[in-house]
């Protein structure tokens, strides 16, 4: 073993990151999915006379458990586009498309034991994506699909609709039947977001910008008939604040609900400026939708100095996303707070912090009152290319601030974050458009020093696919002889 390799292994272990299993599989245009404790790899292989779609199920140690193959024609794999996959309705769904085929695709659907549920060839792509073509929000509960769509009249007034569709037969693709539609109030609604559904109810977070109902609301809609069960206003009539919803926790035993996010003043003035501060909130509701407590806590934000920097403190406006990680045995909630610096039209990722929400009667107390932002993270993403969105969440005319607060929990740049004691570990991804590269880096902060390590650099035309747990990551990369799977601790 050469000296460079030895030094690299020593450095990796010092960072707490050691290489482990690798596995090569002769599949092309492949797609990686993790469901439960198993890893599923679906791709194409050429037998010499025909192309075969092969789906392999592996355990977390990358040991193949079983596989299934389906003949898809006599066209070679290099004439197909990369395969895409999802797990809607609890099945593994793979979309296969030939290059130069226009909008025609084939769809294969399997259960978790690799039995073929349905195979549809040469259907139109618009049928596959019929509920997502127009930026509609969708939410799946078992065999029911819920969507929110908006329709604007000639005065540009938006009407929001919550619609329910039922999948007729799990063994048939795209075969939905319309169940019901719930029309939200016509005036002043700026966004509506489905965050929970079960066999009895659908829950929405709705923001009303003006009028007698101005404020933020939790709506509960009957899942069987679409009738409104109850609407609960989060802010009181006298509060001049906005509750920006980020995440929720529902206790399966008592049925109480916690809504979490950021609480902001409606308008900032020179006398109410909250620069270098954020305010997190926890609202608790009982099983009937009654608010039993409103808790909030102001958190001060400062930026750590790099070396012997003598830069003066700069006033900045920050925003906060509060995501639920898990409930601890103590009854406390482990949260992840993502901090963003608010800039014109964008939010720039600044740092992440763990938060503990501790119950005190019906109220909740947060364990931190100050965040110390590490500037190395923002510097990692910095670029003078105005077209590059590394480290940024961008507002748009359709979703506005929804892109920050609840549109998608997953970001294209913060792939994973975890804490162990005082140690914080980040997996960050960025792109270099000039070099056409995608990079994944690990940042490790032990409470005193921030260290970083580049894990992968891959061409944008062959992007790295990743799945995570709290202990390890599994990556998949296209290589000349097929794909290379790696399982690594992080």
282 and 393, same domain (yes or no): yes
98 assigned to some structural domain: yes
44 and 124, same domain (yes or no): yes
388 and 244, same domain (yes or no): yes
Domain holding 151, by residue range, is 130-233
76 and 111, same domain (yes or no): yes
4 assigned to some structural domain: no
214 and 244, same domain (yes or no): no
Q: State the burial class of residue 132 (Cβ atoms within 10 Å of its Cβ: 0-12, 13-18, 19+).
A: exposed
Task: Report yes or no: 223 and 298 within 8 Å, Cβ to Cβ.
Answer: no
285 and 342, same domain (yes or no): yes
Task: Report yes or no: 487 and 62 within 8 Å, Cβ to Cβ.
Answer: yes
358 and 445, same domain (yes or no): no
213 assigned to some structural domain: yes
Secondary element (H or E) of residue 248: strand 241-250
Among 186, 214, 233, the domain-final residue is: 233
123 assigned to some structural domain: yes
Per-residue pLDDT of the chain (490 residues; tens, 9 = 90+): 444 444 434 444 444 444 568 999 999 999 999 998 899 999 999 999 999 999 999 998 999 999 999 999 888 999 999 999 988 888 999 999 999 877 788 889 999 999 999 887 777 766 665 655 444 678 999 999 999 988 877 767 788 999 999 988 877 767 789 999 999 987 888 889 999 999 999 999 999 988 888 999 999 999 999 999 999 999 888 888 999 999 999 998 999 999 999 999 886 544 445 678 999 999 999 988 899 999 999 999 999 887 655 555 677 889 999 999 999 999 999 999 999 998 887 899 999 999 999 999 989 999 999 999 999 999 999 888 878 889 998 876 545 566 677 666 778 899 999 999 889 999 999 998 888 999 999 999 998 899 999 998 999 888 889 998 888 899 999 899 999 999 988 8
224 and 267, same domain (yes or no): no
Residue 3's pLDDT is 44
224 and 250, same domain (yes or no): no
Residue 267's pLDDT is 65
Q: Read off the tokens for 26.
A: 């002769």
Residue 119's pLDDT is 84
Please give the tally of structural domains in the chain: 4
2 assigned to some structural domain: no
Give every strand in the sheet of 472-479, ordered side by side: 19-25, 482-489, 472-479, 465-468
33 and 116, same domain (yes or no): yes
First to last CA, the chain: 24
Rg (CA), the chain: 24
CATH code for position 61:
2.40.128
Among 411, 434, 467, the domain-final residue is: 411
Residue 462's pLDDT is 82
Query: CA-CA distance, 282 to 260, in Å (whole number)?
Result: 5
Among 233, 256, 277, the domain-final residue is: 233
CA angle 309, 315, 320 (to 5 degrees): 105
Residue 461's pLDDT is 82
111 assigned to some structural domain: yes
Instruction: Look at phi and psi of residue 187 and say left if phi exceeds 0, alpha if psi is from -120 to 50, else beta.
Output: beta
pTM score, whole prediction: 0.86
382 assigned to some structural domain: yes
CATH code for position 192:
2.40.10.480
Residue 187's pLDDT is 80
Residue 9's pLDDT is 40
241 and 388, same domain (yes or no): yes
Q: Looking at the chain, how many residues does it have?
A: 490
Residue 363's pLDDT is 93
Q: Read off the tokens for 25.
A: 């599989």
215 and 154, same domain (yes or no): yes
12 assigned to some structural domain: no
């Amino acid at each position: 073993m050469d000296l460079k390799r030895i030094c690299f292994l020593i450095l990796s272990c010092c960072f707490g990151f050691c290489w482990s299993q690798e596995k090569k599989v002769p599949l092309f245009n492949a797609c990686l999915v993790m469901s439960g404790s198993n890893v599923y790899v679906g791709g194409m292989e050429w037998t010499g006379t025909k192309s075969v779609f092969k789906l392999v199920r592996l355990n977390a140690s990358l040991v193949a458990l079983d596989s299934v193959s389906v003949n898809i024609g006599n066209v070679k794999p290099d004439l197909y586009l990369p395969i895409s996959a999802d797990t809607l309705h609890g099945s593994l769904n793979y979309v296969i498309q030939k290059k130069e085929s226009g909008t025609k695709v084939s769809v294969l659907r399997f259960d978790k034991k690799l039995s073929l549920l349905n195979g549809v060839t040469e259907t139109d792509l618009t049928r596959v994506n019929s509920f997502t073509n127009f930026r509609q929000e969708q939410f799946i509960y078992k065999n029911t699909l819920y969507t929110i769509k908006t329709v604007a009249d000639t005065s540009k007034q938006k009407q929001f609709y919550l619609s329910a569709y039922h999948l007729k037969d799990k063994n048939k693709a795209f075969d939905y039947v319309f169940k019901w539609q719930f029309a939200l109030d016509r005036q002043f609604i700026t966004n509506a977001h489905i965050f929970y559904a079960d066999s009895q109810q659908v829950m929405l977070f709705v923001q009303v910008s003006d009028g007698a109902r101005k404020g933020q609301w939790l709506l509960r809609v009957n899942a069987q008939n679409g009738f409104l069960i109850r609407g609960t206003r989060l802010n009181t009539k006298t509060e001049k604040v906005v509750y920006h919803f980020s995440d929720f926790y529902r206790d399966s035993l008592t049925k109480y609900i916690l809504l979490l996010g950021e609480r902001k003043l409606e308008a900032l003035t020179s006398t109410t400026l909250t620069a270098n501060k954020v305010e997190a909130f926890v609202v608790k509701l009982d099983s009937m939708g009654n608010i039993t407590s409103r808790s909030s806590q102001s958190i001060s934000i400062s930026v750590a100095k790099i070396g012997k920097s003598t830069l003066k403190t700069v006033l900045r406006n920050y925003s906060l996303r509060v995501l639920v990680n898990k409930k601890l045995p103590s009854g406390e909630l482990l949260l992840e707070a993502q901090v963003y610096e608010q800039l014109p039209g964008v939010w720039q990722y600044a740092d992440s912090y763990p938060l503990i929400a501790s119950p005190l009667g019906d109220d909740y107390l947060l364990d931190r009152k100050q965040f110390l932002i590490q500037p190395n993270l923002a510097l990692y993403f910095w670029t003078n290319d105005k077209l590059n969105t590394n480290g940024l969440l961008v507002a748009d005319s359709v979703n506005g601030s929804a892109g920050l607060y609840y549109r998608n929990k997953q970001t294209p740049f913060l792939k994973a974050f975890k804490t162990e004691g005082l140690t914080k570990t980040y997996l960050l991804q960025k792109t270099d458009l000039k070099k056409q590269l995608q990079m994944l880096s690990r940042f490790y902060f032990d409470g005193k020093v921030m260290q970083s390590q580049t894990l992968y650099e891959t061409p944008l035309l062959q992007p790295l696919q990743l799945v995570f747990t709290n202990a390890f990551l599994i990556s998949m990369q296209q290589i000349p002889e097929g794909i290379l799977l790696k399982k690594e601790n992080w």
